[in-house]
């Protein structure tokens, strides 16, 4: 005898709602709309064909038309969590009641917040939406790895963390780690990761496990020894004046000088070979006291590192206040060996130092205080200095005048001003006689000044400072 359900015929013992579907419905909010159905499911744990006879026509119609949608709604209420654990003993799936499931998967009801422990088969069967990025298979693989990791015991505590941070460990040290330490560190890390993955992914043959574990333990101990070595090295050298700091490495990376970093890794410390290739401000500043000892006899006094360029600012004791700048790279190529207590490549003299430097301002002082008396002795005469636009008017003859940029004059003749050239008269003359300076008579000069006032331009073409 069968029962009519819509267009189908159902046998008296046939399942209309299976046990696991019944459990899902009972744990879901949707069933609250059908108290009669909830009562049956609570009483029987399922719905068989013969019970249909006790239902009203309308209730039967609901079962026939809406059951599938109800189940879908019920499973939509649940999300499967990113938590999968390996099950032990006779763990039971809450939905289907199966005992001895292998994986404990956790699902949570979005409405009631209830959590439920189910087997992976039921997660797949109901297709619960995932909470998180990983697929169920990935979660199961993770859980399996975790379980195997626990089998390894305390001897391997921290192994995963150490391996995961193995490359950032080197980069996070306060100094550049030399290759002789970094290379074996990275290769033991690779070796350990390989054999650990093999074990955690269950790819070690049964029977080989003990042997594999022993070899893993050796790798792990090797790896930890390498870490200790690096930590000892950092402790010993991080205060060393020539240890390549992280700031130095970062500035080299910013400028794309990977080869210099490579050299520092090989040499361990900054040497005469790498000194001139480094431009990090903090390091350059740390060298100033050393340069001052080296240049003591030349009368040069180093003060600061230039704001924007890897240059030093210095002055000669004989002419305080007249600033020069010299590039660190030039200075180190000539005298860098002396920083390390060796002989210089260039002969050490004020003259040579002067030769690699440029005047760093104080042009008016150089022109007015130092050059004016020398120029006057040659028959030329400084008429006028326009401090605001930086030009100088020089009288050449009774009615001939030159207009020259003060900076150009100071830079060209500063060697005379400081006594680094003995051919002063000849140099002054050849500078002024050069055809590159334009010549004016008094009338033209006045007109030029008039025009300048109008346009705010200097006669040498430079924008007025005002």
Cα–Cα distances (Å) from 84 to 143, 148, 198, 398, 406, in that order, read 6, 14, 21, 101, 80
Nearer to Zn ion by Cβ, of 78 and 312: the residue is 78
Nearest distance from C-beta of residue 122 to Zn ion, angstroms: 3
Sign of CA dihedral 350, 352, 357, 358: positive
Nearest distance from C-beta of residue 115 to Zn ion, angstroms: 15
Site residues for Zn ion, window 137-196 (CB under 5 A)? none
Nearer to Zn ion by Cβ, of 95 and 243: the residue is 95
Nearest distance from C-beta of residue 145 to Zn ion, angstroms: 24
Nearer to Zn ion by Cβ, of 23 and 245: the residue is 23
Nearest distance from C-beta of residue 144 to Zn ion, angstroms: 19
Nearest distance from C-beta of residue 118 to Zn ion, angstroms: 5
Most distant CA atoms of the chain, gap in Å = 139
Nearest distance from C-beta of residue 124 to Zn ion, angstroms: 10
Q: How many residues bind Zn ion (CB under 5 A)?
A: 6
The answer to whether residues 332 and 359 touch, using CB atoms and an 8 Å cutoff, is no
Nearer to Zn ion by Cβ, of 130 and 368: the residue is 130
Nearer to Zn ion by Cβ, of 107 and 230: the residue is 107
3-state secondary structure of 60: helix
What would the two tokens of residue 44 be? Answer: 């029987």
Nearer to Zn ion by Cβ, of 51 and 136: the residue is 136
The answer to whether residues 440 and 394 touch, using CB atoms and an 8 Å cutoff, is no
Nearer to Zn ion by Cβ, of 116 and 272: the residue is 116
Residue carrying the six token digits 């699902």: 107
Nearest distance from C-beta of residue 113 to Zn ion, angstroms: 21
The pairing of strands 103-109 and 78-86 is antiparallel
Q: Which residues contact 245 (CB under 8 A, 6 or more apart)?
A: 174, 175, 176, 280, 282, 283
CA dihedral of residues 135, 141, 142, 146 (deg, nearest 10): 160
CA–CA distance, 293 with 9 (Å, rounded to integer): 106
One character per residue 86-125, x = contact with Zn ion (rule: CB under 5 A)? -------x-xx-x--------------------x--x---
| Nearest Cα to Cα of residue 109 among 148, 75, 60 | 75
- A 10 A CB-CB count for 202 gives 12
Site residues for Zn ion, window 54-93 (CB under 5 A)? 93
- Residues at the contact surface with Zn ion, assessed by CB under 5 A: 93, 95-96, 98, 119, 122
């Amino acid at each position: 005898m069968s029962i009519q359900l819509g267009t189908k015929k159902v046998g008296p013992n046939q399942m209309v709602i299976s046990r696991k579907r019944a459990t899902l419905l009972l744990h879901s909010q949707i069933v609250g709309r059908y108290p009669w159905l909830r009562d049956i499911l609570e009483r029987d744990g399922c719905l068989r064909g013969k019970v249909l006879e006790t239902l009203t026509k309308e209730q039967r119609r609901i079962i026939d038309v809406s059951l599938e949608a109800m189940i879908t709604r019920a499973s939509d209420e649940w999300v499967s969590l990113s938590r999968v654990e390996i099950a032990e003993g006779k763990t039971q799936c809450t939905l289907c009641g199966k005992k001895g499931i292998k994986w404990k998967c956790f699902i949570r009801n979005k409405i009631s917040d209830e959590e439920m422990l189910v087997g992976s088969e039921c997660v797949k069967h109901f297709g619960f939406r995932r909470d998180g990025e990983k697929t169920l298979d990935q979660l199961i693989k993770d859980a399996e790895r975790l379980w195997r990791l626990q089998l390894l015991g305390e001897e391997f505590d921290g192994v995963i963390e150490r391996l995961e941070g193995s490359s950032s460990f080197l980069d996070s040290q306060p100094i550049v780690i030399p290759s002789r330490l970094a290379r074996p560190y990275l290769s033991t890390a690779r070796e350990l990761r390989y054999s650990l993955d093999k074990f955690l992914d269950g790819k070690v043959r049964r029977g080989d496990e003990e042997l594999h574990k022993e070899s893993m333990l050796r790798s792990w101990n090797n790896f930890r020894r390498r870490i200790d070595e690096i930590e000892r090295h950092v402790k010993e050298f991080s205060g060393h004046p020539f240890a390549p700091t992280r700031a130095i490495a970062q500035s080299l990376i910013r400028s794309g000088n990977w080869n210099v970093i490579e050299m520092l890794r090989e040499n361990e410390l900054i040497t005469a070979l790498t000194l001139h290739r480094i431009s990090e401000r903090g390091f350059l500043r740390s060298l100033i006291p050393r340069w001052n000892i080296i240049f003591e006899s030349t009368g040069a006094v180093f003060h600061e590192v230039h704001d924007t360029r890897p240059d030093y600012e210095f002055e000669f004791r004989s002419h305080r206040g007249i600033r020069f700048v010299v590039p660190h790279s030039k200075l180190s190529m000539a005298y860098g060996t002396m920083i390390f207590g060796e002989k210089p490549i260039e002969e050490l003299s004020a003259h040579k130092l002067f030769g690699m430097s440029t005047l760093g301002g104080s042009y008016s002082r150089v022109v007015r205080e130092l050059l004016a008396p020398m120029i006057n002795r040659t028959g030329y005469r400084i008429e006028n200095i326009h401090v605001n636009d930086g030009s100088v008017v020089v009288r050449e003859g009774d009615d001939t005048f030159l207009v020259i940029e003060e900076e150009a004059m100071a830079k060209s003749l500063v060697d005379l001003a400081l006594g680094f050239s003995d051919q002063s008269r000849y140099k002054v003359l050849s500078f002024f006689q050069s055809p590159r300076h334009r010549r004016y008579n008094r009338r033209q000069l006045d007109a030029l000044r008039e025009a300048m006032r109008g346009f705010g331009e200097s006669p040498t073409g430079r924008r007025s400072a005002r």
